[in-house]
Structure 1
Amino acid sequence: MSDHRNQLRIYLAAPLFNDMERSFNARLAALLEPFSDVFLPQRDGKLMRDLVRQGMALESARQLVFEADIDALKRCSHVVAVLDGRTVDEGVAFEIGYARALNKFCIGLKTDDRALLPSGDNPMILAGCHEMFGSVVALVDYLRNDDAWMRSTG
Structure 2
Amino acid sequence: MRIYLAAPLFNDIERSFNERLTSLLEPMAHVFLPQRDGKLMRDLVDGGMPLEAARQLVFEADINAIRRCNYIVAVLDGRTIDEGVAFEIGYGRALNKVCLGLKTDDRTLLPSGDNPMIIAGCKKIFANTIELVAWLRGGFLSARDAG
TM-score of the superposed pair, with normalisation by structure 1 = 0.91
Asked whether the equivalents of residues 142 and 148 of structure 1 are also in contact (C-alpha less than 8 Å), the reply is: no
* Alignment counterpart, residue 61 of structure 2, candidates 59, 68, 76: 68
Distance 2:27 2:53 in 1: 35
Tell me, yes or no, if structure 1 residue 25 matches structure 2 residue 24: no
For structure 2, the residue ranges without an aligned partner over 5 or more in a row are none
Match of 1:125 among 106, 118, 138: 118
Q: Which has the higher helix share?
A: 2
Asked whether the equivalents of residues 84 and 109 of structure 1 are also in contact (C-alpha less than 8 Å), the reply is: yes
Q: Deviations over 1:76-118 (max 9, x none)?
A: 0000000000000000000000000000000000000000000
| 2:91 matches 1:103 | no
Does residue 38 of structure 2 align to residue 45 of structure 1?
A: yes
Distance 2:61 2:140 in 1: 31
Query: Would the alpha carbon gap of residues 149 and 81 (structure 1) be closer, same or farther in structure 2, given more than 3 Å must change?
Result: farther
In the alignment of these two chains, the number of paired residues is 144
Paired residues of 1:28 and 1:136 also in contact (CA < 8 A) = yes
Q: Give the percent of matched residue pairs that are identical in Structure 1 and Structure 2.
A: 72
Q: Return the alpha-carbon distance in structure 2 between the equivalents of residues 125 and 49 of structure 1.
A: 27
Q: CA deviation at 1:147?
A: 5.8
Q: Per the alignment, in what secondary structure is the counterpart of residue 106 of structure 1? A: strand
TM-score, normalised on structure 2?
0.95
Q: Matches of 2:141 and 2:112 in 1, distance apart?
A: 29
TM-fit CA distance, 1:145: 1.5
Provide the residue aligned with 1:3 in structure 2: none
Which contiguous aligned blocks of 4+ residues in structure 1 show a shift greater than 6 angstroms?
none
CA distance in 2, matches of 1:149, 1:64: 36
Q: 1:62 to 1:37 in 2, by over 3 A?
A: same
Q: Does the 8 Å contact 1:142/1:149 carry over to 2?
A: no
Amino acid at match of 2:48: G
Q: 2:108 aligns with which of 105, 115, 119?
A: 115
Question: Which runs of no fewer than 5 residues in structure 1 stay unpaired?
Answer: 1-7
**How far off is 1:56 after superposition?**
0.3
Is contact 2:28–2:140 with CA below 8 Å preserved after alignment? no
Are the structure 2 counterparts of residues 57 and 147 from structure 1 closer, same or farther at C-alpha, using a change threshold of 3 Å?
A: closer
